[in-house]
Structure 1
Amino acid sequence: MEEIAFFRPSIDDTEINLIKEALKDHGSAIVGRFESELQEYFGVKHAITTNNNSAAHHLALCSMDLKRGDKIICSVNSTPSVAQAIRHFDAEPIFVDINEDDFNMNAESLRNTLKIHNHKKLKGIFVNHIGGQAADMDEIYDIANEYEIKVLIDAGKSIGLTYNGVKIGSDKRSLVSCFNMHSQMTNPIATAGFMLTNDDAIAERARLLRNYAIVKGGIDKDGNLGYVYDVVDIGVKYDLTGLCAAYSMAQFEKNDKFIQRRRAIAALYDEALADCPHVSLPIKKRDHIYIQYIIKIDKNRDGFAKELLERGIHTALHYKPMHLLSYYKSKYSLKVNSFPNALRTYQQVLSLPVYNALSDEEAHRVCETMLEIARTRA
């Protein structure tokens, strides 16, 4: 029985040719070209590439000059990278609950959290967009403005996602938006992240810090050599390699095609699984580009996933709430029922394969297997 992977990359001559080009010019030009393409696509002043999305999160907070004891609000349903980046400053992530329908940050929970944590140490809100559907950004921006705090975006792979017709990452109301260009699978072919901003000071600091905060010498106005460099801050090594830039740029140039294909697969799933017992399909409240196709299983989600795997179909879980992870649960003495919406959602959600390389035949097999398993349950 041939297995259906949770993800397979789509690779053709575009990637191969750009990688060859990067090898010929030693990668020196292609990173700049990639950043220029990103700036043009999103219509922002600055696109700063990094070697992965976690680096983008950390670099964004470095650029804000986050300090020990500062606080950043984030969804309890997010990638571990966001809270981990906050903790690297010995700052505090403050979690908020989610909506049970679209899995995004719950505005009421955000407002209640701000009432408790409204303090000079509170530096911002890191908002994510689950599964390829945007959070309710107008309401979040209104709340942020009311409390005079900055909004940062964790968009993950949601390149091309829009909210009210504006691309996520293009809205000037956010300070920084972070993205990635690679799968979340272990050992991907290449990795890349990037952060977008219209703030000149944030961009200048990010570019400085991403390469050890080195200030290089050069030839001065008098013709003297200045090859002795200096380090002017505590930096990191987050710059993007030419090979990863080449692969990522090739993938980026196919992004519209990938979105179209994922939407087609989602439509196929929606139709075929509409009456599937024990299964609730994704609720589309606004634009959706289906980075994940997240369903709910109302009875023994883990058993359902195991039966799918036994039939060769791989699934995934997005996401385990942060308050259930050992480090955060212990560090902040969080209770299992501290975030009831996230807890109920976590007990049911399951992500099905949805990617460009997935064929219609494979998608139909996923649906047929889902129906077969669901009908055996009382």
Structure 2
Amino acid sequence: MEVLFSKYENDVEEHSNVSDALDGDDLCQREELEDEFCSYVGASYAVATSHGTSALHLAMLALDLKRGDKVVCSVNSHPNVPEVVRHFDAEPIFIDIEENYYNIDLNKLEEYLQENKSKKLKAVIVTHVAGITVDLERLYNMGKLYNVKIVEDACDALGATYNGQKIGSTGADITCFNFSSHLRENICNGGMLVTDDDEIIERARLLNNHAIVRDEDALEYIYDVVDIGNDYSMSQLDAAFIRAMVKKQDKVMQRQKEIAQIYSKELVGVDHITLPDLESVETPYSLYIIKIDKNRDSFARELKDKGVHTGLHFIPLHLISYYKTKYSLKVNAFPVALRSYQQVLSLPIYASMSDEEIKYVIDTIKEVASTRV
């Protein structure tokens, strides 16, 4: 048997929406998605983009990031986070993580903000690993206290909550979603930028399409360009598919919760494995991350040889050649992230997994673990 790490979902509604788009239906799928997404997460405004990375890049444009500016982020993030910063010739500042859920360490973040007060420090991008958040109330207070914008990277946090309120409506200046996030490839690509800020959304909408403006009374081919933007727009086909995807996200999360509970029950006590504590946090169960006490890569390789595919969230950025070289980063500079990286492994978890596939993953993990000394 082969169990993929991720598998995209599709059903009648996806096919119906895509057919409408292909048939030239007058309905603008992208505008419908933006409206429905605002309703789902509770945000005031949304801009659909071609990818999650586009949403992050557009966020930096909306914040008017410039050369020499600084943006703080977790060292345990996907490379697209510092990448969008570097495209402005700005500088990403990396912060180590906390041990339990692999998110940015707020104590270390606050220490940095206290010691580095500068007009060049523009924003903090916080990645919600596995859709589990840090103490957002404390984070937002830091943003106000140190006059930095808070951008949430919610690539695995669609439907996630903080104090019962959906991510995207909890108080960040900007939240960016990714509908085809790291190692969880979808049949389509898409991202979403959401905000409650009137000025941010006005700038984001302008720059989302080359900063083109038109006079409503002029011919449709007459336009002007008032700034430097880009083309981040989501296609109608992608929007059609993602509309259906968002509508069933709550059901998806419920099935993922069931799978996580089975993993937690059946894998408890297995030698060489540490399970995540998901009882004390709000989580969409988008990832199920275990720890392997030693030789994680050989463990993963044996699982793959037996048909079980796994993931890794993430390779710490200070181990990535570009950032390691560019900023002369030392291997031991971020000890918690380094230690976690050597052990973490993400198991398959998605709504269409069958009970048979779940059992096979569990049995295979137990089999591989039993051969370890």
Q: Please indicate, yes or no, whether the TM-score normalized by the shorter chain is above 0.5.
A: yes
Give the letter aligned to residue 212 of structure 2: I
CA contact (8 A) 1:75 1:128 kept: yes
Q: Distance in 1 between the 2:169 and 2:360 partners? A: 38
Give the TM-score, by structure 1 length. Answer: 0.95
- Give 1:236's aligned residue: 230
**2:252 corresponds to 1:258:** yes
* Conservation of the 8 A alpha-carbon contact between 1:4 and 1:313: yes
* Native 8 Å contact 1:313 1:366 kept in 2: yes
- The structure 1 residue matched to 2:305, chosen from 286, 302, 310, is 310
Q: Which residue in the other structure is 1:60 paired with?
A: 59
CA distance in 2, matches of 1:19, 1:273: 40
Alignment root-mean-square deviation, CA: 1.5
Q: Which residue of 1 aligns with 2:193?
A: 195
SS at structure 1 position matched to 2:151: strand
- Say whether 1:369 aligns with 2:367: no
Say whether the 8 Å CA contact 1:103–1:130 is kept in structure 2. yes
Q: Distance in 2 between matches of 1:316 and 1:227?
A: 47
Please tell me whether residue 357 in structure 1 is matched to residue 352 in structure 2. Answer: yes
Between 1:74-83 and 1:114-123, the stretch displaced more is 114-123
- 1:102 CA drift (Å): 0.8
Rounded Cα–Cα distance in structure 1 between residues aligned with 2:28 and 2:307: 43
Aligned-partner residue type, residue 81 of structure 1: N
CA deviations on 1:21-64 (whole Å, 9 max, x unpaired) are 11123676111111110111222221110010000000011011
Q: Look up the SS of the partner of 1:206 in the other structure.
A: helix
Q: Where do residues 181-220 of structure 1 align in structure 2 (5 Å cutoff)? A: 181-185=179-183, 188-219=186-217
Q: Residue 133 of structure 2 corresponds to which residue in structure 1?
A: 134
Distance, in Å, in 2 between the alignment partners of 1:332 and 1:27 is 51
Match of 2:21? 22
1:208-245 alpha-carbon deviations (Å, 9 max, x no partner): 1111111124425xxxx464211111110101110000
User: How far off its partner does 1:3 sit?
Assistant: 0.9
2:286 corresponds to: 291
1:259 partner amino acid: M
Is 1:279 the counterpart of 2:251? The answer is: no
* Deviation of the 1:132 alpha carbon: 1.9
Sequence identity (%): 46
* Cα gap change, 1:271 to 1:187, in 2 (>3 Å): closer
Deviant stretches of 4+, over 6 Å: none
CA contact (8 A) 2:70 2:90 kept: yes
Contact 1:52–1:191, Cα closer than 8 Å, also in 2: yes
Q: Which residue of 1 aligns with 2:124?
A: 125
- 1:274 partner letter: V
- Distance, in Å, in 2 between the alignment partners of 1:218 and 1:141 is 39
The whole-number CA distance in structure 2 between the counterparts of 1:368 and 1:13 is: 33
Report SS of the residue matched to 2:71.
strand
Q: Are the equivalent residues in 2 in contact too, given 1:75–1:98 (CA < 8 A)?
A: yes
Deviations 1:83-141 (A, max 9, x none): 00000000011111101111111111101221332211001111111012112212222
Give the residue type in structure 2 aligned to 1:151.
I
Aligned equivalents of 1:44, 1:348: Cα separation in 2: 36
Task: Give the conservation status (yes or no) of the 8 Å contact 1:215–1:230.
Answer: yes
Alignment: residue pair count: 372
Q: Structure 1 residues 17 and 329 mapped into 2: Cα distance closer, same or farther (>3 Å)?
A: same
Q: Which residue identity lines up with residue 132 of structure 1 in the other structure? A: G
Distance in 1 between residues matched to 2:44 and 2:9, nearest whole Å: 30
Aligned to 1:270: 264
Q: Quote the residue 1:91 is aligned against.
A: 90
1:182 is matched by which residue type in structure 2? S
Structure 1 distance, partners of 2:138, 2:216, is 49
In the alignment, is residue 247 of structure 1 matched against residue 246 of structure 2? Answer: no
